[in-house]
A and B are shown apart, each in its own frame.
Chain A
Amino acid sequence: MIRSSILISGDPLSLSRGAEATKLAIEAELVFYGLEDEVRVGYTGRIGNTDALPAVIVYPEGTVYGPVSPEAGAAIVEEHLYKGRRLEDLVLPIEVAPGAIEAPSAVGDMLSGQRRVVLKRAGTIDPYSIDDYIAYDGYFALGKALTNMAPNEVLETVKASGLQGRGGAGFPAGLKWSFVAQQPAPTRYIVCNADESEPGTFKDRLILEGDPHAVLEGMALAGYAVGANEGWIYIRGEYAMAKDILNHAIAAAEDMNLLGDNILGSDFSFHIHVHAGAGAYVCGEETALLNSLEGLRGIPRVRPPYPTVSGFRGKPTVVNNVETLANVAPIILNGVDWFRSIGTERSPGTKVYTMLGDVNVTGLVETPMGTTLREIINVYGGGMKGGKAFKAAQTGGAAGSIIAPALLDVPMDYATMLQHGATLGSGALLICADDTCIVDLAYVLMRFFAAESCGKCVPCRLGTLRMMECLERLRQGRGTSDDLEELQRMAQQVIQTSFCGLGQGAPVSILSALRHFREEFDAHVAGTCPTGTCPMSGPVETAVELHDYFSIERS
């Protein structure tokens, strides 16, 4: 009989700091005390947002320890599990661990507002154990759909729930599904976009590492709803651990007939494959992703036709983000009314944010849609670091917007943010205090786009480079007011004429920075950086060297 469960953070960072040795020491000590049949040991993804790694959680108490060396691991077994006393010296304060765990009895007021739908199980279950997932209502939604619901009912339920795509654009998921379901083609595909490359965003990685089956179940439900029998997960090449966990989860689900042929004895078959990328931000754009999935250069395709009509291998394809798919099973299981009771009228449900920068607590937070930035900073972020004043937030990753203090009290959902000229995007919240230089920030953002532009269209390929050079001149104190005009004009042109979302999103942060922080740009033109961050001297960085086909053939 299992009475306790120990989870060790098994993310790459923890592993590099000896998580495996800690796990072995814990297991050995459990054998020593004869507890091996009573206590289960497993890995989980990253625990909370602490740097005290590897971290260890002991359930059912939900006590978090860190950093846990092999010796400390042995001591936890002896003291906590054998003698029943907490090792107070090693216990992490609650505020460092809210990101990934929920232990209702153990947390203070701080987490009371978090509403876990997507992250309900992450950090609580062992992602390598399908039994754990099933024990927490896993695959119940798929079972319910296959036995009691027609495909169209599943589709209508998701449509009625108002679930919006969580990748950034907020497109209604149910509508996208219905476009695919309407296509007469005999073959359709479900593609999970796990190419999470938006700087500052790592929610999808933590969902995949902490609760992989939630995504698999969501994909199977999507397949059932639209009549697809094959699904592909396109995961970015850098996420080696998440890929390993996914492959393991798929095999486990196939063993139990929860994926594969004739799932649970029904007529529905669904197979899932994992495809790793090789490092390219643009592959997060859905048509570039599809090209990469087909073994091509990851450049975007002409739209229309949209992927819902002609996607993977030219067949109708649903492309959904990881977080979107993780919402599907709870909606099917708990119903539309339940889902609509969370969040706002126009954007029901929760949103997972990654909070970074000048706050006391950085990491993952899941709150209902419509929560204000002020609440997120003060409640979940534990306030501004060092009591500094809030200056700006960069929301939605590099392609998002820079927002000013005036927007702190705006309820954050897709539509409301858009009304205020801001975006929710991928859910990254980079909080900047008053010692952050906006010009410097804008430069770093544009450098990213100049490096990641795929080169297909001229406005993006050259426009991002020219804007980066303008900002570089400003940082070096060599900028003129002409540069500001140029920046403004170029930003507009790149938005209007770029081929895909990458170019169309690149100048958004520049325009919002110019709108809210014009005086700071003017100060740079006048020769001073108000925060003293910028070098205000130095040579212009030259453009990235590119090699071409001919040079490699000649060499």
Chain B
Amino acid sequence: MEEALAITDSIIDAHRANPEALVEILREVNERRGYVTREDVHRVAERMDLPRSKVYSVASFYSLISLEPLGKHVIRFCEDAPCHVAGGREVWEALEQELGIPFGQTTPDGEWSLLTTSCIGACAVGPVMMVDDDIYGNLTPQKVGEIIARYRDAETQGGTA
């Protein structure tokens, strides 16, 4: 635990515990660990001399900061109108079917989280999703299966996609 909090400390130090950088600090913690733990919230509050409730209010507000553990791979599917009109609904259903979970959940084996996101600014190639940091456009139900299979294959071969 202390080891994990060392990361948090180093991020706070890098921003010189500047309260104006609170959003960025929490986001960086999230990036390093995948989510922000309760201990992180407490540590940030203590180190920056802020009420815990305030740190929590910021951490819970932004969609790129998670307070719950997410899967190893996170799919963020754009659910906005341009992607929807371009055939997003079929892709949405295909994703749920492929992973066997509804949106907003993580697979029991902890491999995949299926989330929705607001527009990610790649509308000309909608429907669009992000798998971790990579953007995939012009999705079809078939393509979704292929993309997920690619990540699964990479894992069984011990590499990365």
Residue B137 is within 8 A (CB to CB) of chain A in the complex: yes
Residue A432 is within 8 A (CB to CB) of chain B in the complex: yes
Residue A445 is within 8 A (CB to CB) of chain B in the complex: yes
From A99, A197, A278, A355, B26 is in contact (CB under 8 Å) with A278
Within 8 A of A (CB), among B1-55: 18-24, 26-27, 38, 41, 53
Interface centre among A196, A440, A444, by most B CB within 10 Å? A444
Q: Give the distance to chain B from A464, nearest Cβ to Cβ, in Å.
A: 14
Residue A172 is within 8 A (CB to CB) of chain B in the complex: no
Q: Are A197 and B85 in contact (CB under 8 A)?
A: no
Residue A412 is within 8 A (CB to CB) of chain B in the complex: no
A72 to B134, CA, bound (A): 23
A240 to B28, CA, bound (A): 13
A414 to B30, CA, bound (A): 41
Q: A13-B122, A281-B118 are contacts. A448–B80 as well, Cβ < 8 Å?
A: yes
Q: Are A278 and B23 in contact (CB under 8 A)?
A: yes
Q: Which residue of B lies closest to A283 (CB)?
A: B62
Q: Are A239 and B138 in contact (CB under 8 A)?
A: no
Q: Are A295 and B134 in contact (CB under 8 A)?
A: no
Q: Are A12 and B135 in contact (CB under 8 A)?
A: yes
Residue A495 is within 8 A (CB to CB) of chain B in the complex: no
Q: Interface 1/0s, chain A 240-259, versus B by CB < 8 A?
A: 10000000000000000000
Residue A451 is within 8 A (CB to CB) of chain B in the complex: yes
Q: Interface 1/0s, chain B 134-160, versus A by CB < 8 A?
A: 111110000000000000000000000
Cβ of B82: which chain A residues have Cβ within 8 Å of it? 199-200, 356-357, 428, 430
Q: Give the distance to chain A from B68, nearest Cβ to Cβ, in Å.
A: 8
A452 to B63, CA, bound (A): 10
Cβ of A357: which chain B residues have Cβ within 8 Å of it? 82, 85-86
Q: Are B20 and A277 in contact (CB under 8 A)?
A: no
From A196, A280, A552, B61 is in contact (CB under 8 Å) with A280
Residue A303 is within 8 A (CB to CB) of chain B in the complex: no
From B21, B121, B123, A295 is in contact (CB under 8 Å) with B21
Q: Are A240 and B64 in contact (CB under 8 A)?
A: no
Q: A200-B82, A444-B84, A549-B57 are contacts. A279–B119 as well, Cβ < 8 Å?
A: no
A362 to B124, CA, bound (A): 5
Q: Give the distance to chain B from A423, nearest Cβ to Cβ, in Å.
A: 15
Residue A293 is within 8 A (CB to CB) of chain B in the complex: yes
Interface centre among B82, B104, B138, by most A CB within 10 Å? B82
Residue B97 is within 8 A (CB to CB) of chain A in the complex: no
Q: Give the distance to chain A from B50, nearest Cβ to Cβ, in Å.
A: 9
A305 to B58, CA, bound (A): 24
A541 to B140, CA, bound (A): 24
Q: Give the distance to chain B from A249, nearest Cβ to Cβ, in Å.
A: 19
Q: Interface 1/0s, chain B 55-92, versus A by CB < 8 A?
A: 01110111111011000000000011110111000000
From A16, A199, A292, B123 is in contact (CB under 8 Å) with A199
Q: Interface 1/0s, chain A 355-385, versus B by CB < 8 A?
A: 1111000111000000000000000000000
Q: Are B80 and A398 in contact (CB under 8 A)?
A: yes
From B63, B84, B117, B121, A205 is in contact (CB under 8 Å) with B121
Q: A298-B61, A441-B81 are contacts. A202–B27 as well, Cβ < 8 Å?
A: no
Residue A408 is within 8 A (CB to CB) of chain B in the complex: no
Cβ of B20: which chain A residues have Cβ within 8 Å of it? 293-295
Within 8 A of B (CB), among A193-230: 196-202, 205
Give the size of the chain A interface in residues (CB under 8 angstroms).
62
Cβ of B41: which chain A residues have Cβ within 8 Å of it? 552
Cβ of A553: which chain B residues have Cβ within 8 Å of it? 38
A299 to B63, CA, bound (A): 14
Q: Are A430 and B81 in contact (CB under 8 A)?
A: yes
Cβ of A277: which chain B residues have Cβ within 8 Å of it? 23, 62
Q: Are B119 and A547 in contact (CB under 8 A)?
A: no
Q: Interface 1/0s, chain A 540-555, versus B by CB < 8 A?
A: 0000010101001101
Within 8 A of B (CB), among A292-349: 292-299
Q: Are B24 and A275 in contact (CB under 8 A)?
A: yes
Q: Give the distance to chain A from B15, nearest Cβ to Cβ, in Å.
A: 10
A552 to B134, CA, bound (A): 30
From A200, A394, A444, B79 is in contact (CB under 8 Å) with A444
Cβ of A432: which chain B residues have Cβ within 8 Å of it? 85
Residue A436 is within 8 A (CB to CB) of chain B in the complex: yes
Q: Give the distance to chain A from B49, nearest Cβ to Cβ, in Å.
A: 13
Q: Are B24 and A547 in contact (CB under 8 A)?
A: no
Cβ of B109: which chain A residues have Cβ within 8 Å of it? none
Cβ of A199: which chain B residues have Cβ within 8 Å of it? 80-82, 118-119, 123
Cβ of B79: which chain A residues have Cβ within 8 Å of it? 444, 447-448
Q: Are A49 and B61 in contact (CB under 8 A)?
A: no
Q: Are B135 and A16 in contact (CB under 8 A)?
A: yes
Complex A-B, nearest 3 residue pairs according to Cβ-Cβ distance, in ascending order: A278-B62, A279-B63, A199-B80
- Residue ranges of B at the interface with A (Cβ–Cβ < 8 Å): 18-24, 26-27, 38, 41, 53, 56-58, 60-65, 67-68, 79-82, 84-86, 104, 116-126, 133-138
9 A-B pairs within 8 Å (CB atoms) are namely A202-B123, A276-B24, A278-B23, A278-B63, A278-B64, A354-B124, A430-B81, A448-B118, A545-B104
Beyond the given A199-B119, A549-B60, please list 19 additional residue pairs across the A-B interface where CB-CB is below 8 A. A12-B135, A13-B136, A99-B124, A200-B81, A201-B123, A237-B62, A238-B64, A240-B133, A276-B24, A278-B65, A279-B64, A295-B23, A296-B22, A297-B61, A354-B123, A356-B82, A357-B86, A444-B79, A555-B38
